[in-house]
Amino acid sequence: MSHADLARHVRRGLASWQLERALALLLEHLDAGIEVTVLARACALSRSDFTRKFKVSTGATPQAWLRRQRVEKAKRLLAEARLPLAEIGLECGFCDQAHFCRIFTRLEGVTPLGWQRLAG
């Protein structure tokens, strides 16, 4: 990638302060979620511009990035093996155990219980 191409690519993504703010807000609202409109407003962008720039910067939509972070948190909790599966799902922002299992399996290729057994 040439220097000019790199400069164009960087301009298409979020500025570093915008990315830091967006990621911090997403992590603060990991359990309950946050509307993209709120993220966009915090970054002084329209919803569509924010969503496009976020994807350029992270490789994922805000919702997909948030789901990935929820699954990563769930993996940490599963490794500790202290909470029941349903509680881990709720702790990580999933609406119920079925939703948690469905998203976890889609992203990890194994059920949460299967992952826990493999990790233990």
Question: What does the pLDDT profile of the chain (120 residues) look like in tens digits?
Answer: 555 554 554 468 999 999 999 999 999 999 888 999 999 999 999 999 999 999 999 999 999 999 999 999 999 999 987 889 999 999 999 999 999 999 999 999 999 999 998 887
Residues 6 or more apart in contact with residue 4 via CB below 8 angstroms: none
Are 38 and 2 contacting, i.e. CB atoms less than 8 angstroms apart? no
Are 115 and 108 contacting, i.e. CB atoms less than 8 angstroms apart? yes
Measured CA to CA, the distance from residue 39 to residue 44 in angstroms comes to 9
Measured CA to CA, the distance from residue 104 to residue 101 in angstroms comes to 5
pLDDT at position 11: 63
Ordered alpha helix ranges (H), the chain: 3-12, 16-28, 36-42, 47-58, 62-80, 85-91, 97-108, 112-119
